Chains A and B, each alone.
Chain A
Amino acid sequence: MSTATVFEIALAAVVLGLAIWTIAVPDTYSATVGFVAYGLLVALIWVRLDAVDVALTEAAIGGGLGGVMLLGAAARLRGSEVATAGRCSPTVRLSAAILSASTAAMLAFAILLLPNPPPTLAPAAVSNAGATGMANPVTNVLMAFRGMDTMLEKVVLLLAIVGVWSLAADRNWGGRQGPRHEADPKGVLAFLARLLPPAGIVVGIYMLWTGADHPGGAFQGGAVLASMWLLVIMAGLADTPPVSSPRLRLVLVAGPGLFLAVGFGGLCFGAAFLAYPVAIAKPLILGIEVAMTLTIAATLALLLAGAPERSVEP
């Protein structure tokens, strides 16, 4: 057994232990902490699978932002935990265990019995990379070959934010999201919120730009920008914008709007919906990615901020 395999087995064992902890531990807050650690280590598995684009997304969105969201919810629900603890009957638990174990076993067999040689679209994706002028095959698939999925995903983000906003109480409609955060102006959080964003914004923009040719892209860059904005909000240096703000709404529809416009442009002047003219494919895609990054950053941060809880008037 090579060193690499030993490392892989150890990594899988640690992550599996965290998954068991997440499910088994009685306290919800501890389970959430376990799940955050799990998300960060799963990013390492993605690196081992040679999927660096996914690893970056998983670390930034799955581990980082998702972790902050779950921890915040667990902290706010902590008081309600004691009264509501209740367990299923042993029969239900035994049946669930049998069902889950057989599902896992069948999936493991399915993975071991996959056809050899495996069917793959990698050669097609790589050989057609010249059509868009981008070297990163994942960005090509996201923006060109499966552009429809990516555009519809922006619509899903928009629907999610509308759903979260609509949970506001009547008097808070159109107001600011989440509680007002206060932090010691001389404390560590306020210090970090002043120190990190300049560097973080540069990193986010770099990730967007380098996504054309290397691992990175709109999702990863947008997640970094969102976390910088959230840091400033959580340190109390800025407040969440009122959700009735027209400028905010413009940013939220910029990504899907431009994507749709380019798509219909392809229908009118080109071969099909979302077909880019080869000559200007790269500038078009980069333009969409820039608008998408803004939209993704705003949407991710606002999804984390939660339902509007304060009316606009002080």
Chain B
Amino acid sequence: MCLAIPSKIVKIENNMGIIDVEGVTRETNLILIEDARVGDYVIVHAGFAIRKIDESEALESLKILRKVAAMEFDG
């Protein structure tokens, strides 16, 4: 299962992308999506980017997720 956290592609090399999730960078495999470009937002599932999503949609849901996370950490 995936958390559906939108992640921004900051670098691409040979079908592998470096993604940025809230300042944390990770590697993700890009072969399951079409025409991945630096700057795209993707949903990552088990190490693979499985979908591209629209930037405004991504930013909106990041905002929500940030709120939810803040709630959780607040206890």
A binds B: no
